[in-house]
Structure 1
């Protein structure tokens, strides 16, 4: 949460600014120290025109990556704040499993920097849903916290319950593509109470970490079935090990 400027000197006096990852002294209550910033891998250009997968610096502009050519995505692009590496992993673990929800603002600012300028107040931000049992055990939906910060940044609409996860699904890591699809079949749907707000809308689907894309694919499909005009994906960290070689 952003500290109001008028209260900053008092807060700094009581709680001296520290890097949320390593504890190093900072000049302000937001952000990371220089060392921890340096650990993050920020995706850049050139990139795939369809999914924004980073390419080597000598790649031609306007290129589509091999995965998008083989299986054209239904979304209209992916805005990733970072590539998933040791640095972003530390932030995700602190945020999601360490219950340091105050990091939502920092993570959202990194995502917002990668969103195209046309994503503004006319758009709706929808988080990837968690099953109610997962929310009860964790206490919050990390994607919803990020969506809230992003919607505030773009002065856009937040549909925190735009999607519902009606059945609990196992962790998808290690599953093949068909197994992931079977696990997610019928798990995610558009909230019937939000159909009027989804129909015809341009939507940003928000997640913390984008791995295989199976969950976000299911969410995009549910939103398009409900009549969304287009869906973009925004995430804090994107797992693209091959792209790390070009950063």
Structure 2
């Protein structure tokens, strides 16, 4: 009762606002009707590797999108909560660059819904790491914060320092796939004191946005080297191919 009263008082003093546009909403951590219509939650049949929606009556749960057929990613299975466009893009940019850590709880909820089968079958949850220089400037790793919340929701352990980014990489916006792959080559290592934790385990990699898959593939290859049994990925948003 006290907790409910506290929540009610907070909502009276600070009325809930839309995650994307700050319009009033009925409950904290939600979207207003306009932003809800702009947000493409991914459901139905999707690519088994990257989570892209598949269209067509013949598409099955083990099918791959055209991109993953041409360039198979290094991980085993993948899911995404939303497409990276419209209001979802605004929300993710706010989380990533706007110090909006209040978004972690609802956004991790979106991911938990999309990635329920992967969470159920994983041993470890691990975020894509930031280089220490970028972490110092940004002050937090949004993927690590999402991983921690997903661990709380699933009961599976999050090992936020499982991977280390040992080389500072150029931001990849505007790069083609080949350049992205070169940019990420050799950028990661399994943190030495965590090597034994990886061997024989199923690892679920967490990131905010999946574009070409170069970063996540580099992480997956790094985890397989010391003997990870399986590497799956769960991301908040997937960039659609037509984008």
Change (3 A) 1:122 1:5: farther
Cα deviation per residue 1:87-136 (whole Å; 9 max; x = unaligned)? 11100111111111110111111111111335238521100000001010
Give the corresponding residue for 2:4.
5
Aligned to 2:24: 25
RMSD over aligned Cα, in angstroms? 1.9
User: Aligned partners of 2:170 and 2:37: how far apart in 1?
Assistant: 34
8 Å Cα contact 2:118/2:204 also seen in 1 = no
Where does residue 115 of structure 2 map in the other structure?
115
C-alpha separation between the residues in 1 aligned to 2:14 and 2:51?
A: 39
Which residue in 2 is equivalent to 1:53? Answer: 52
Rounded to whole Å, the distance in 2 between the matches of 1:29 and 1:131 is 32
**Larger mean Cα displacement after TM superposition, 111-120 or 189-198:** 111-120
Question: Residue 174 and residue 30 in structure 1: after superposition, are their counterparts in 2 closer, same or farther (change >3 A)?
Answer: closer
Q: Secondary structure at the match of 1:7?
A: helix
1:1-247 matches, within 5 Å, as: 4-61=3-60, 62-117=62-117, 119-120=119-120, 123-242=123-242
Whole-Å separation in 2 of the counterparts to 1:50 and 1:138 = 30
What do the CA deviations read for 1:140-184 (whole angstroms, capped 9, x no partner)? 001001111111111110100000001110012233333323222
Instruction: Flag structure 1 segments of 5+ consecutive residues without an equivalent.
Output: none
Q: How many residues align?
A: 240
Conservation of the 8 A alpha-carbon contact between 1:121 and 1:154:
no
Task: Render the CA deviation track for 1:185-229: whole Å, top value 9, x for unaligned.
Answer: 221111111112111111110001111111111011111112111
Structure 2 gaps, min length 5: none
**Which piece of structure 1 moves more, 19-28 or 107-116?**
19-28
